[in-house]
Amino acid sequence: MLGSVSYPLLDRITSPQDLRALPESALPAVADELRAFLIATVSQMGGHFAAGLGTVELTVALHYVFDTPDDRLVWDVGHQAYPHKVLTGRRDRLTSIKQKDGLAPFPTRAESEYDTFGVGHSSTSVSAALGMALADQLQGGQRAHVAVIGDGAMTAGLAFEALNHAGSLDANLLVVLNDNDMSISENVGALSNYLARLLAGRLYRGFREGGKRVLRRIPAVWEFARRSEEHLKGMILPGTMFEELGLNYIGPVDGHDVIGLARTLKLLKHAKGPQLLHVATRKGKGYAPAEADPIKWHGPGPFDAAKGEIRKEAAAGPTYTQVFGQWLCDEADRDPTIVAITPAMREGSGLVNFSKRFPHRYYDVGIAEQHAITLAAGLACEGLKPVVAIYSSFLQRGYDQLIHDVALQDLPVTFALDRAGLVGGDGATHQGIFDLSYLRCVPNLIVMAPADENECRQMLHTAAHAGHPAAVRYPRGTGPGTAVITALSLLPIGKGVLVREGQSGLAILALGTMVSLLGPIAERLDATLVNLRFVKPLDRELVLDIATRHTRLVTAEENVLQGGAGAAILEVLADAGIMRPVLRLGIPDRFIEHGSRHDNLSAAGLDPTTLQRRIDAFCTTT
């Protein structure tokens, strides 16, 4: 059925202007066609899926009512934005999403004038849209400014900081809370929609503001009226909290009633001051498998749309994420002081089994990286051994807490940094290429990177028993295929390993993933190969020994060159007064965009062919 779907209305929409030329009565059909197109298209190439299905009607209504791109529409949690890309002239390129030179996985300013703010990490929309609204106000403009924030993003403190600020200002800002939590479904219906439109209307707003002006002259009556209004709205609507922050709360409204949404948005389009529209949606709406299991269908690979089956790739051994998850369960079996913390990344970080086996030692804090780290510090103060499972690019959001709350107090917190290095399709916003640099400069912190799956397990065990803050950074996906040894052993802190001794005078000092990539090159050139293991503390003794016995050195890491492992080695050599030709291989000083992992490595000059060419050239010119 899906293969034969036609899109008579969608075919006519090349921009929101085309959408706005349609009668309101056509909007449900547009939404149906858009949803069918998303199902048929994403099934071919995979990508973020369930969240976009839930925002189809909302996206149609927003672009129908607001004069985008002149009116500013800011998306949060870019997983929601596939429908937005389709309606803004990128429909024919949707199959290229996440691929090299294809559409970006999230809204990005360089891609379209309709993408008013770059999105990748969550909870930024309200701050950004408020900044735009204030700029427009200062410049005497009359634009509308809309921030669409997902309910998961509301768990982050940044969102509430922005709402708190917005509520104290008179800038024209509409915050749309896209709430796909099924617990509020009973509040959505004819009565709720009627109340929402009533509260959004000019008559109600005028009556309320006029009444307030009169009643303020009679203090006792004014106080009674104010309390009564808050009590009534608190009983009928879940918006008292937002009203207390200073935003006019509207909702909840049915997020899948596209005509009702459009009419409500029209009433709010010219409202003055900060407004919050609460929209109830269902993640995965319109595709039964995604509605039943939105987590599984959050970002599937290619799938059979008719059967609802995600195509399975041939297993290539355990991923590093799986190695971490198994280690954590094994460690927790042995040590009752082990606890795990994640900022809303249970599945992505490999914590599903742990959460089921040790529910009382598992804490999902929501999208709140700062809180996750300080929570871990508090747990460590009382004798527990917290393990923070977090993506490398997300740890950036808790950097102050890592320094001030953990490292400064030398607390034994383990940071399991998944997605370190180049991550592929999620692109620049998710590349974990900065952690070696921003961690290496922090006192008391141990930083290590495994060369294979077994080393990852042993490093995690070492980190958990180090008695100091320790980070283990490992990549997305599988490793070189090294068998994982069940037994756990402590590695000597700050000691590298000599993988092979060569006779050519060339030494390669590699970290993490680069060890296996450079192994064949070291063999071909009869070069010495060192697995550094630790970048902090660096094995100074081994580095100096290698530098003394070799005439040329190569350093290699899957991290930016500034401040990384190669920079650490140069510092050691400079301090010792040793001068050697050194070729540093790593991520160049630019952001690496989306594509396959091979595309990412090639873009960084770290694919096997380029590595070999660069090292050969280095050897012939030095």
Q: Are 480 and 318 in contact (CB under 8 A)?
A: no
**How far does the chain reach from its first CA to its final CA, in angstroms?**
64
CA distance 396 to 432: 9
CA distance 266 to 259: 11
- Whether 212 is catalytic is no
Which position among 369, 453, 455, 593 bears the catalytic label? Answer: 369
Nearest by Cα to 584 from 609, 601, 564: 564
CA distance 324 to 358: 15
Pairing of strands 506-510, 470-473: unpaired
Paired strand residues for 508: 529, 554
Nearest by Cα to 15 from 90, 89, 82, 91: 89
Paired strand residues for 457: none
**Residue 331: both structure tokens together:** 């460690």
The H or E element that residue 194 is part of is: helix 190-200
Q: What is the largest CA-CA distance in the chain?
A: 94
- Whether 369 is catalytic is yes
Which position among 85, 282, 397, 533 bears the catalytic label? Answer: 397
- Whether 283 is catalytic is yes
Inter-CA distances, 172 with 76, 114, 132, 162, 595, Å: 18, 19, 10, 14, 38
Which position among 91, 282, 283, 385 bears the catalytic label? Answer: 283
Annotated catalytic sites, by residue?
A: 283, 369, 397
